[in-house]
Amino acid sequence: MHLARFPRVRLAHLPTALERMPRLSEELGVDLWIKRDDCTGMSSGGNKTRKLEFLMAEAQEMGADLVMTQGATQSNHARQTAAFAARLGMDCHILLEDRTRSNDPNYNGSGNVFLNFLHGATAEKHPGGTDMAALMEERAEEERAKGRTVYVIPGGGSNATGALGYAACAMELVGQADAMGLKIDRIVHATGSSGTQAGLVAGLKAINAQIPLLGIGTRAPQPKQEQMVYDLAVKTVEKLGCPGIVAREDVMANTDYVGEGYGLPTPGTIAAIELFARLEGILLDPVYSGKGADGLIDLARKGTFEGETVVFLHTGGSVGLFGYNNAFDYDTPAIAAE
Ligand SMILES: *Cc1c(COP(=O)(O)O)cnc(C)c1O
């Protein structure tokens, strides 16, 4: 695996830190570490930054003047794409899907939604269940007919190009662990549109790390989630020039923590966000990393990771907290202005 073969715009702050979580380790009786991909940079960071380094390099190579992507209302991917477009001098148009049917003004206007506009992107919104990929192609064709050069990024940046960012992350993480003499028994992270897990699987296999990886689902049921990750991991290792090295058993997802659906935090999600905030001073998010951490905490309490050193890959998303602050019910003391 030699990633310098692929075009890349180097805007991420790398390597991200690999740190121990002492208080959470004590609380759960497991040696817990965290890989801080919430701190990758570009509009506060998150996992999409690594993918966008490779995707936006393709956009630049084709001379794109307009980037289009799609996601849920509080999409972190949309926000990070808007930031990359701003930095590279391209226009950005975002198609948002109303997956939660929330009327909360913060959900619909704060957090990531606010930052999209701050970065100068334009956006349109569609009801949940719309065929967003088809609609985006339609929009792209309309713009091409007007003479624009459009680069279309799939939801979550999850294709083989985007997944290269997480193949690179696998190498980075294992390199850090080796340098500090840390033996990793397992990696756990939140999985959604699948590019993160597919890239990690591809990278871990390509360097023969022999570290099991567990994705905690945030949307799809287990068979569908694992199939999506597997299919993309297969394409990613083909792109890397090592076809056939990923087996179906390399892909593991636990989807017991999704709750009622995508973007709907459960009581476990909220409790996990509070535990990380109060024991480690680390911000998670209500859509992905909070559900991933709920799975991590619950499985740790059930003894699944007994005696192991586990790395939680923090995929970011804390900007979404401001779209979801009403999911937390705190009595904010009224502080009167003088
Ligand atoms: C997109 C996202 C994920 C899921 O990553 P995928 O590559 O889509 O599976 C996890 N956490 C956060 C914060 C995200 O924004």
277-289 core/surface letters (b: 16 or more CB in 10 A; e: else): eebbebbbbbbbb
DSSP, residue by residue, 68-123? EEEEETT-HHHHHHHHHHHHHT-EEEEEEEESS----HHHHHSTHHHHHHHTT-EE
Which of 76, 188, 262, 288 to mutate for ligand 1's pocket (most ligand atoms within 8 Å of CB)? 288
Residue 20: strand, helix, or coil: strand
Residue 145: strand, helix, or coil: helix
Does 289 sit in the ligand 1 pocket, CB within 6 Å? yes
Helix then strand then coil, in percent of the chain rounded to 5, is 45, 15, 35
Closest atom of ligand 1 relative to the 215 alpha carbon: 9
Does 312 sit in the ligand 1 pocket, CB within 6 Å? no
Residue 18: strand, helix, or coil: strand
**Residue-level pLDDT at 329:** 87
* Mean pLDDT, range 41-45, rounded to an integer: 98
Does residue 312 surpass a pLDDT of 70? yes
Does 111 sit in the ligand 1 pocket, CB within 6 Å? no
Tell me the average pLDDT of the chain. Answer: 97
**Residue-level pLDDT at 1:** 87
Does 46 sit in the ligand 1 pocket, CB within 6 Å? yes
Which phi and psi (to 5°) does residue 216 adopt?
Answer: -100, 120
Is-above-0.75 flag for pTM?
A: yes
- Summarised one tens digit per residue, pLDDT across range 45-64 is 999 999 999 999 999 999 99
Residue 332 CA, ligand 1 centroid: distance in Å: 30
Closest atom of ligand 1 relative to the 320 alpha carbon: 13
Round to whole Å and give the CA distance between 254 and 213. Answer: 11
- Summarised one tens digit per residue, pLDDT across range 270-289 is 999 999 999 999 999 999 99
Active-site positions read 75
* pLDDT interval class at 336 (50, 70, 90): low
Does 285 sit in the ligand 1 pocket, CB within 6 Å? yes
* Mean pLDDT, range 224-233, rounded to an integer: 98
Which of 307, 306, 274 is closest to 290 using CA atoms? 274
Alpha helix segments (H runs only) across 148-265: 160-180, 195-206, 222-240
- Summarised one tens digit per residue, pLDDT across range 129-177 is 999 999 999 999 999 999 999 999 999 999 999 999 999 999 999 999 9
Residue 260: strand, helix, or coil: coil
Residue 144 CA, ligand 1 centroid: distance in Å: 29
DSSP 266: -
Closest residue CA from atom 15 of ligand 1: 76
Does 77 sit in the ligand 1 pocket, CB within 6 Å? yes
**Residue-level pLDDT at 330:** 87
Residue 14 CA, ligand 1 centroid: distance in Å: 18
**Residue-level pLDDT at 234:** 98
What percent of the chain has pLDDT above 70?
99
Closest atom of ligand 1 relative to the 289 alpha carbon: 11
